[in-house]
Structure 1
Amino acid sequence: MIIVTTDFVPGFEVKELKGFVRGSTVQSKNIGRDILAGLKNVVGGEIKDYTKMMDEARQQAIGRMIQHAEEKGADAIITLRLETSSVTSAASEIIAYGTAVTLETKD
């Protein structure tokens, strides 16, 4: 699956638009991470557990978006976007979305 943030893929033409695709996940904090986060707020620095958690959430959302595109028969996703929103004070949603297409090589 080719995935790009642009509305085109160099060397290819869009053969067919398959439509909007998306994937999302909601991740919540846990007590262990919150304790470490509280300590980092005192001394400063990156909260690596949260960084890892959000990276995993992005990968899961992208994976679900790819699955949605494959179900539509696409071989690429153009105009990929990622967004994060707070669902509650202890949970965030990550959503990945874009346009599913099929491609053909330029002549």
Structure 2
Amino acid sequence: MIIVNTDFVPGKEIKESLGLVKGNTIQAKSIGKDIKASFRHMAGGEIKEYTSMLSESREIAQKRMIDKAEKL
């Protein structure tokens, strides 16, 4: 299976579109990391605790999309 986020694949012919797949995830931080993040927010700059949580959530959602696509 070729997994893409475009409506074409260079050098390939698309014979059938099986539809759109989605992957979602919601994550919660621990109370300690939330407190650290709130202090960073007040001081300004990147909130690394939330950046890493977002990256992790994105990877989980992408894996779920691939799993759903393979089941189509």
TM-score, normalised to structure 1's length? Answer: 0.59
Query: Distance in 2 between the 1:45 and 1:69 partners?
Result: 38
Deviation, 1:3, is 3.3
Structure 2 counterpart of 1:3: 3
- What SS does the aligned partner of 1:33 have? helix
Structure 1 counterpart of 2:58: 58
TM-score, normalised to structure 2's length? Answer: 0.83
Give ranges in structure 1 of 5+ residues lacking alignment.
Answer: 73-107
Structure 1 counterpart of 2:28: 28
Query: Distance in 2 between the 1:66 and 1:16 partners?
Result: 17
Query: Distance in 2 between the 1:3 and 1:48 partners?
Result: 30
Deviation, 1:20, is 2.3
Q: Which has the higher strand share?
A: 1
Query: Distance in 2 between the 1:34 and 1:55 partners?
Result: 17
Give ranges in structure 2 of 5+ residues lacking alignment.
Answer: none
Identity, % of aligned positions: 56
Structure 1 runs (4+) greater than 4 angstroms displaced: none
- What SS does the aligned partner of 1:15 have? coil
